[in-house]
Structure 1
Amino acid sequence: MQGVKPGILVYGNPVLNRYSSSVLGTLNDVKPLNPVDELTLYMVGAHAGDEFVRSLMWPGPMPQLNLGSMNPCDAYQVAKLIVVTWPTASNLSELRRVRALALEECVGVLDRLQLRLVKHSEAIGMLDRLYEMAISNQLSEEDTAKLAYALVIYELYDRAVRLLERRFNTIVKYQLAVLRILLRGFMNLTPWHRGLILSTGTLNVSDWVLTTVRYRNDVCVVIQFKSLEKPYTVSNCPVQVEGGRLVVSGVEPTLSTSPVTVELLVKPRNWGVFFIANNTNSPIRYEPRVKGRCVVKAKDYENQGCGELLLDVGEYASIHFT
């Protein structure tokens, strides 16, 4: 596993930054990682990535993977990711099989909540009760960490932050849970959601970026631009959807030390939502260029005009096309 620059996990919330500081120095010791965890770490440059992980990041043929060798809870997460990336009938059948197995084997309430194997309406009530138990110290330490992750999975962020703050000394012991909370929870790097644009617009050479788009019917593969000694960038080329995947038209990633603009082309029939987050050490200015109407929703305001947007370090927003 590689190192991670401190700026990679920077949040606007001091509680999250406290957890971030705790996990940065121990990434090499976080185990056991399933392929989804490895992909998430690969996204932020903390993991080299095996053939399967790399094939998820860059469009290509599906590699061989034996889901039967994994425990059902991990296999179900990976099966969902496979269907998103390679949407074939056989992969969909495999997902159904693995889901049925997960329902049998993943019997713990919190395990099911973390995997979203519980109906949303039922899950919220269960999380309410578990949260009250955790606050009053009626949950075990491990279950408290699992609950914090389940809360962010169901987007109950305020409660998650309160629990993380009140039970820091307990939750911080469970580094894998912390990693998932920070990356797949608050940074929304959940791979099968694929709804994140980091540092989009004009990129500085010190930035790294993930570009993804989520449409109503098509979920697109992540394209990654990441700083090495020199950054991988794509110079002024259009990014568009082809066959449900986000691809760079006719251009391979090239080395460049100049700022680069990446343009996302959205066709009218591909209505959707763009999620933007600033994951660098300095503010980023983003100017949506769209034909038609859209709404920008950020933490502190809503912009009906879809105009210029300034994201501070760790802030995020979404652009809704109407």
Structure 2
Amino acid sequence: MSSARKLLRALVLVGLGIGLTVPATAAQAEPSPSELTEQINKASTELEKVVESYNKLNEQLKQTKAASAALAARMGPLEAQLAEAGAQLGEMASVAYRTGQAGTASALLDGSGPLADRLGMLDQLARDRRQRLEGFTEAERRYTEEKAKLDATVAKQTAQIKELAAGKKKIEADLDKLYKMREAAYGSATSSGTRYTGSIPSISGKAGVAVRFAYNAIGTPYVWAAEGPNGYDCSGLTLAAWRAAGKTLPHNAAMQWDVVAHIDRGSLQAGDLVFYSGLGHVGIYVGGGKVIHAPQAGDSVKLSSVDMMTPYGYGRVR
């Protein structure tokens, strides 16, 4: 046996004797805290997009339900009109069946009354029958048309409810992964928020009401699809702040962008909304280069720089 082979055999025997271990460099290294934070931020951004999609679908479902209720309310009177028109048509048919249309001939031939009067009577009867038939046909058309709309709306509503249920499952699964990542990085899945105890800027009007609400919400936990009072997501917070000021906003950042007046950075005032992440995130500007926002799952409502991310745009609630 060559000396090289003897040395290799000796090394193997020593390794077996002491319990051979894989060098650290050969194993996958654990991510550093900074790497974990980067992964968490990326996962949170993706999750927020899913949450905002869920919120948008929920808003659309509200609109669908409202449309369905309005259509259903119209169906009652239309059904009554159709029934009345049908009854009139049935009565006319019954009379025609019983008389065998003999009344028409006898009115012309029995010689009672002037001929012009008799012809006028027949013309009126014909018009009355035609009007009743047209009335029934129109009532039936309106009823059928509205019923088709209602059926389509109910089908759409059912599909939206199913889609929401699927979206909820995905969010819950993504949250479970995110919380595990946060626990590995920070030792806890969630961070406890601290209420704001500083002075709140004095701002007049409805914007001031919205800003005070936002300051008082600092420290409240992020809760997906929530609009208070015990938790908020990003669009839920801006919705709730402006609801306190008597204004209505949809629960979705992109839909809020659609209903606000778009302004430039130089026009920014306290109470305006600041949009981020391709309309996937929104906060409320409170002045001094700061926004209050509900950042991400596991975190709480906080005061941050308006440039915490690159703003997508700025909007003023009308």
Is the TM-score greater than 0.5? Answer: no
TM-score normalized with structure 2 length: 0.20
- Which structure is higher in strand share? 1
TM-score normalized with structure 1 length: 0.20
Higher relative contact order (CA 8 A, sep 6+): 2
